[in-house]
Structure 1
Amino acid sequence: MSVPGPEFGPLVRLRKTSVTVETTLHEGGPVPARPLRTAVACAVVANPYAGRYEENLLPFMAALRGLGTHLATELVDVLGGVEQVQTYGKGAIVGVDGELEHGAVWHEAGGWAMRTVLGEPKAMVPSAKLVAAAGTRLVVPMHNIHAAYVRSDYTTAELGIHDAPRPAEILFALTMGDGGRIHERLGGLTREAISVHDGQR
């Protein structure tokens, strides 16, 4: 049985969490000066609206901000500090007794939390979500935290947990990375050329 997270309130009943770090040493070409690390933090919670239609999802969305802050803080810690984070993304997998809108609450809750922890970067947080069975893997888009048009930082993170989400659960996830693609060489806006600071360029 899931239980309320101590700091998250009664609507957020947590069963398990997971934090993983993928380290890419090279992609078949020259070994880079430093490896790329992509971290994923997942939380599996009971879906309070599983099996029924609920008009007002806003209380759940608000309650999830605390969980989002917790996951974002874990990612920053595992990557070695805010200054290390260059890319981010988020995702949700809703168990089959729920609906896609139950995962969409994460747009605000997870995105707000990630921006708060990272010092209010301006770029939108890219995302993916779906309704699926336990064990489904989700590929989440990621891009630069300050300017979405930084081409070298268009990348992805894979996430999932083998026994989640169960039908009446939701898996919520945040992702962060400390760089873009290992051998990026396709031109476009670079991190060094960010100048407009509107979240895009």
Structure 2
Amino acid sequence: MPEIRKTILTVEEIHHEGGPAVARPLRLGSIAAVVKNPFAGGYEADLVGFMQALKPLGRELAERLIAALGDSGEIQSYGKGAIVGGDGEIEHGAMWHEPGGWGMREALGGTLAIVPSNKVVGAIGTRLMVPLSHINAAYVRGHFASAEIGIYDAPRRDEIVYGLVMATGGRIHDRLGGLAVADIKGEDGLR
């Protein structure tokens, strides 16, 4: 089981981006857990067991973030990311793909689109920009955005920060065309 040192949850309410204020603010949230890296300082050939052990954490973090943003019916975009401490490797961040992605997809009721991701190996205080896209149609251009995760005292050299981000909509002043939310077909997770 993963050993968690701490978690952090943030929610932003965005009223405008320089244009007119919207009637209903965009809510953007992130949640992250600082986890001890059992593979720090060495090479482990089989990481699948620990990846599987992370699944309950992915689901728990997703549920907590959804609750902070309102409810699952409000969520329109998502993403995930990992910051690996200096004694780890990028593959330790990649262990979050399945637990973080499926945790969100299950908590949201079986979304169709792949969950975008980013990961990095970094020092204490490293910040990571996590990509966001629409939960059911990856080609909804107005939902291409990013959110920052990071913790001032993490990751230590033998830790990993695993994070999830979600938002209640796309960019607040989206006006560049492309597939609109109203035109999603919901057939393949792309359109």
TM-score between the two structures when normalised by the length of structure 2: 0.99
**In structure 2, distance between residues paired with 1:197 and 1:38:** 26
The match for 1:50 among 15, 27, 40 is: 40
Are 1:75 and 2:71 an aligned pair?
A: no
The match for 1:122 among 112, 135, 144 is: 112
**In structure 1, distance between residues paired with 2:114 and 2:137:** 8
Are 1:136 and 2:126 an aligned pair?
A: yes
Aligned ranges for residues 1-201 of structure 1 at < 5 Å?
A: 9=1, 12-201=2-191
Contact kept? 2:79, 2:115, Cα under 8 Å: yes
Which runs of structure 1 show a deviation greater than 2 angstroms over 4 or more consecutive aligned residues?
Answer: none
Shift of 1:59: 0.6
**In structure 2, distance between residues paired with 1:100 and 1:196:** 33
Shift of 1:196: 4.4
**Partner SS state of residue 41, structure 2:** coil
**In structure 2, distance between residues paired with 1:14 and 1:172:** 10
**Partner SS state of residue 178, structure 2:** coil
**In structure 2, distance between residues paired with 1:41 and 1:164:** 14
Gaps of 5+ in 1: 1-8
**In structure 2, distance between residues paired with 1:25 and 1:33:** 8
**In structure 2, distance between residues paired with 1:60 and 1:23:** 35
**In structure 2, distance between residues paired with 1:76 and 1:186:** 28
- Encode CA deviations 1:85-115: one digit per residue, 9 max, x unaligned: 0000000000000000000010111111111
**Partner SS state of residue 20, structure 1:** strand
2:149 alignment partner AA: L
**In structure 1, distance between residues paired with 2:27 and 2:124:** 26
**In structure 1, distance between residues paired with 2:17 and 2:70:** 23
**Aligned-pair identity (%):** 57
**Partner SS state of residue 106, structure 2:** helix
**In structure 2, distance between residues paired with 1:112 and 1:146:** 14
**In structure 1, distance between residues paired with 2:120 and 2:36:** 16
TM-score between the two structures when normalised by the length of structure 1: 0.94
**Partner SS state of residue 103, structure 1:** helix
